[in-house]
Amino acid sequence: SQQGEEDPQALSIQEGENATMNCSYKTSINNLQWYRQNSGRGLVHLILIRSNEREKHSGRLRVTLDTSKKSSSLLITASRAADTASYFCATDPNAGGTSYGKLTFGQGTILTVHP
């Protein structure tokens, strides 16, 4: 079953606004990752946050992780039309032993940024 659940399922905003997407998961994790997918394309890795980290930044992206609530959020600041895509969170579960990067993905948030 899918571990990550994302909220909202779809988000529509104007260029220049901020976009916030949330992800919840169920089990202990080694890390949580966010990916972007343009329509009909492969996924592109955006950012990885480890279980002992609480916040991470990369350019206009800010990711937070709350392991006590088993949740994460992705904030895209000053959004652009080119940010239009689906965004997925993925967890690297800590189930004992080595996970070998077997990621469990959420259902994704479809972000539409209107120019």
Partner 1 sequence: SQTIHQWPATLVQPVGSPLSLECTVEGTSNPNLYWYRQAAGRGLQLLFYSVGIGQISSEVPQNLSASRPQDRQFILSSKKLLLSDSGFYLCAWSVGVYTEAFFGQGTRLTVV
Answer yes or no whether residue 96 interacts with partner 1 by CB under 8 A: no
CA angle 75-18-43, nearest 5°? Answer: 50
Answer yes or no whether residue 27 interacts with partner 1 by CB under 8 A: no
Do the beta carbons of residue 58 and residue 11 sit within 8 Å?
Answer: no
Q: How far apart are CA 42 and CA 85, in angstroms?
A: 11
Question: Given the DSSP bridges, would you call strands 85-93 and 29-37 parallel, antiparallel or unpaired?
Answer: antiparallel
Quick one: which segment of 11-19, 53-61, 71-79, 88-96 binds partner 1 (CB under 8 A)? 88-96
Answer yes or no whether residue 104 interacts with partner 1 by CB under 8 A: yes
In the complex with partner 1, the residue whose CB is nearer, 35 or 113, is 35
Coil, helix or strand at residue 49: strand
Residues 32-71 that bind partner 1 (CB under 8 A): 33, 35, 40-45, 48, 50
Q: Which of 24, 67, 77, 107 binds partner 1 (CB under 8 A)?
A: 107
